[in-house]
């Protein structure tokens, strides 16, 4: 908006750029490019510092976002594939869910937990991918050799026996951690889901 340029006494060469509103300083020296480009980048950073940013839809947005909450949600949903044949754990960040932190064992349990907490049922939720607890021999050995000399990995004995033990250990584990898969989405309420896609989303913080 209004940029101040700082120089060393007796020189008219700009060394720093300052935001005219808050005084925050921007140095061209942090940019790994030509001098002219670095100065242009620092000048632009100072210019953008206190300039309010707007989403393409017109709503004000905060750094570091490039779109508002509802547009980010819409863009994510537009990229996702709607699935109907999924039966398994789901996640939604709009309610606590059966297991807490938004996770539930399936869609029915998610809806049930909403009633329990008096939360509105979300218009959609994400299916989950599961990551089972596993030990990995290569990673264990690499870790063990980090503090050793550089040929240590080649001098390991008994790795085969350890691998067999690890295989047995892995097979015995029942612990699984779930993560939401944002490439696929399950629609719970089609009307509200369509509304979000049309850009008249639900309220967001």
What is the closest distance, in whole angstroms, from the C-beta atom of residue 120 to Zn ion in the complex?
Answer: 22
When asked if residue 40 is in the footprint of Zn ion (CB under 5 A), the reply is no
Rounded distance, CA 113 to CA 194, Å?
24
When asked if residue 25 is in the footprint of Zn ion (CB under 5 A), the reply is no
From candidates 50, 141, 152, 166, binder to Zn ion by CB under 5 A: 50
When asked if residue 128 is in the footprint of Zn ion (CB under 5 A), the reply is no
C-beta of 70 vs 92, nearer to Zn ion: 70
Angle between helices 69-79 and 190-197 (to 10 degrees): 110
What is the closest distance, in whole angstroms, from the C-beta atom of residue 186 to Zn ion in the complex?
Answer: 24
Give the contact letters, 56-95, x = binds to Zn ion (CB under 5 A), - = no.
-x-x--------x--x------------------------
Region binding Zn ion by CB under 5 A among candidate stretches 44-52, 81-89, 126-134, 148-156: 44-52
When asked if residue 111 is in the footprint of Zn ion (CB under 5 A), the reply is no
Structure tokens at 172: 């015995």
When asked if residue 19 is in the footprint of Zn ion (CB under 5 A), the reply is yes
Region binding Zn ion by CB under 5 A among candidate stretches 31-39, 49-57, 141-149, 187-195: 49-57
């Amino acid at each position: 908006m209004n940029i101040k340029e700082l120089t060393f006494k007796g020189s008219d060469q700009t060394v720093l750029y300052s935001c005219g509103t808050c005084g925050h300083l921007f140095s061209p020296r942090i940019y790994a490019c030509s001098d002219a480009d670095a100065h242009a980048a620092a000048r632009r950073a100072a210019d953008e510092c206190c300039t309010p940013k707007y989403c393409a839809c017109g709503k004000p947005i905060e750094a570091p976002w490039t779109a508002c909450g509802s547009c980010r949600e819409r863009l994510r949903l537009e990229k996702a594939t709607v699935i109907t044949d999924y039966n398994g754990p789901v996640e939604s960040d709009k309610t606590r869910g059966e297991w807490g932190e938004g996770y539930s064992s399936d869609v029915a349990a998610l809806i049930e937990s909403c009633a329990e907490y008096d939360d509105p049922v979300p218009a959609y939720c994400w299916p989950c991918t599961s990551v089972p607890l596993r030990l990995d021999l290569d990673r264990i050995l690499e870790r063990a050799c980090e503090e050793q000399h550089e040929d240590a990995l080649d001098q390991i004995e008994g790795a085969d026996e350890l691998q067999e033990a690890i295989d047995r250990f892995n097979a015995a584990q029942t612990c699984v951690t779930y993560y939401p898969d944002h490439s696929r989405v399950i629609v719970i309420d089609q009307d509200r889901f369509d509304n979000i896609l049309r850009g008249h989303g639900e309220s967001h913080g």
